[in-house]
Amino acid sequence: MNKRVEYLFFILSVILHVKCDQNTKLDPVRDQLELYRQNVKGKQNFTTLFNGSPVDARDKITLNNDNLFDNRFFVEAITHINRQNIPERIVHGRGAGAFGYFEVTNSIANVCRADFLDTVGKKTPVAVRFSLTTYGGEGSDTAARVPRGFAIKFYTETGNFDIPGLNTPIFVLNDPIKFIPFRRTQFRNPATNIRDSNMVWDYITTNPESISVFLIILGDSGIPKGYRHMEGFGIHTYQVHNKKGEVFFLKWILTPDAGVASLTDEEANKLNAADPDSFTRDLYEAIGCGKKVSWTVSVQILTKEDVKKAKIDVFDITVRLPTKLYPLVPVGKLVLNKNPLNYFSEIEQLAFCPGNLVRGIDGGVDKVFQARKFSYRDAQMYRLGVNFNNINVNAPDFDHSTYFRDGRAPTLNTGNDSPNYFENSFNGTIWDYEPKRPKLYKVKDKKPNNTAQATEIYNEMSKAEQGRLVTNIVNSLSLAETFIQNKAVKLFTEVDPDLGKSVSNELNKIEKKSSCDGLFSDSK
């Protein structure tokens, strides 16, 4: 009798479990494979070789093959996996991305003639990639305290326009040659292969223009609460022009509609320990579940007169443009509503370049923008090949013609049978002409005040925020050599005497452990 009751309970539990599974909404990340299984049920294709011929089921097992290398499936599989990886980005290696649209809510056609900005209600497809800038590559903790990338590709009617932006309003340098030492000091020591606070703080104290960014990153806003709560900034002051050829200057700012929110170190450490992919997961799940993922896109607009009157160098990307003088003008909404079908194809191969500009947007006039135009294109050619713009996710949304031919795949039609040289007399492609296109504004670099803005940033913090900033600074700086610490204290004192004093006092409380104590105790 008892066995019959147990059996009935077992049957009932199975029925209830099945019913619960049917009523439970599938998670876009956790249940991605189950969603795929349901979507393609009864529609499966045959497994094929590269030439399209189907693979015999017996060839998926190699144990009993007479000659292993007669098994074409094995040969193609093993030779392909050895070559399936491409070079990782030198920075921004760890990333996540999605697709959606930009919709104009306020036309600025009087300032900029770019077609995707000219009509209220107009929608332009976009691709967006979020990333960690200088904190390792794939596999890095997504909730790390580092600057982040916020890059946007607009697929406009007149070509692709890219904004390879960041989550900070400023950058760490204004001289492009300094990028090389900056990048190296943020990664690993070449001898130990371990992150080195000496390298980080040696760079900061030797290049004081970088201090403002590090105050932001080490402050309360240093770790956003996922990408959906992260701000975006175009960094550079772009030159633009209208249909009359009148020149203006603007900066791009993106404010999350979900609200700006950040994580504490404790929250971030817990997230990283439990799920190093937390930021990527949150973005993918939110879009997959139909949640609103959007930003308000605004610009700060300057005239030539504003530039001449400005007391700061408005083209120096280590300097913020004050919103009191140059208020934010909303221009549209950035909405993400589609996850990638395949991460490698659509996000890893997604290639941005500041030089991808469209009519009406002339680009930045500073030296770093000029350097980025070259280095980004060079980096993409190295990673993806000379024809990286022929990859679907990088190509314009319309048929286009260039004189750039051949090379490594993908080559598409390489111009078919049209002439491959210019000028030619055989009805080759014709040239565009914009009679009122202005020349780029010429900039004279002004002598910077490296700590004035850092002082502003520090004074904008509450006392509690300042206290947490000091804790974050000391957690990193305490691992550096004493003479490096002294240089840092001197720099912080120039920013604010109280900041320098607080950092110095906290450093003095820390006693360095013996180098041979070991992280883990020796087992007996």
Q: Which two tokens stand for residue 265?
A: 């170190």
Instruction: Decide: helix, strand or coil at residue 245.
Output: coil
Distance (Å, rounded) from C-alpha 504 to C-alpha 470?
Answer: 10
Amino acid letter, 164: P
The per-residue pLDDT for 397 is 86
CB atoms closer than 10 angstroms to residue 185:
20
Quick one: average pLDDT of 117-127? 97
CA–CA separation, 46 vs 54, rounded Å?
A: 6
Give the number of residues written for the chain. Answer: 524
Does position 24 have pLDDT exceeding 70, yes or no?
Answer: no
pLDDT at 501 (0 to 100): 98
Provide the whole-model pTM: 0.89
Instruction: Report which of 479, 471, 476 is spatially closest to residue 503, judged by C-alpha positions.
Output: 471
Containing 73, the helix (H) or strand (E) segment is: helix 72-81
pLDDT at position 15, please? 40
- The yes-or-no verdict on residue 23 having pLDDT over 80 is no
Q: Which of 296, 305, 301 is nearest to 327 (CA)?
A: 301
Output the six-digit token pair for 293.
């993922």
The DSSP output letter for 428 is -
- Whether residue 12 is predicted with pLDDT greater than 90 in this model: the reply is no
d(Cα 514, Cα 507) in Å, to the nearest integer?
A: 17
For the CA atoms of 172, 297, 364, 433, the dihedral, rounded to the nearest 10 degrees, stands at 160
- Do 88 and 137 meet the contact criterion of CB atoms below 8 Å apart? yes
pLDDT tier at 97, thresholds 50, 70, 90: very high
Buried-exposed string 151-162: b where 16+ CB fall within 10 A, e elsewhere: bbbbbbeebbbb
Residue 165 tokens, joined: 């932006």
Are 208 and 455 a contacting pair, CB within 8 Å? no
- Position 420 scores a pLDDT of 78
pLDDT of 322-333, one tens digit each? 999 999 999 999
Average pLDDT score over residue span 293-319: 96
In this prediction, residue 251 has a pLDDT band, given cuts at 50, 70 and 90, of very high
Distance, CA of 382 to CA of 223 (rounded, Å): 31
Percent of the chain's residues with pLDDT above 70:
93
pLDDT at 160 exceeding the cut of 90: yes
| Averaged pLDDT for residues 93-122 | 97
User: Any binding-site annotation on 376?
Assistant: yes
Residues 428-456 have a mean pLDDT of: 84
The whole-angstrom separation of Cα 376 and Cα 179 is 13
Residue in the structure block whose two tokens are 């700006």? 260
| Measured distance CA(397)–CA(124) in Å, rounded | 10
Q: Which range has highest mean pLDDT (7-16, 70-79, 442-451, 514-523)?
A: 70-79
Reported as a single tens digit per residue, the pLDDT across 383-409 is 999 988 889 999 998 777 776 777 777
The answer for 201, left when phi > 0, alpha when psi is -120 to 50, beta otherwise, is alpha
16, pLDDT greater than 60: no
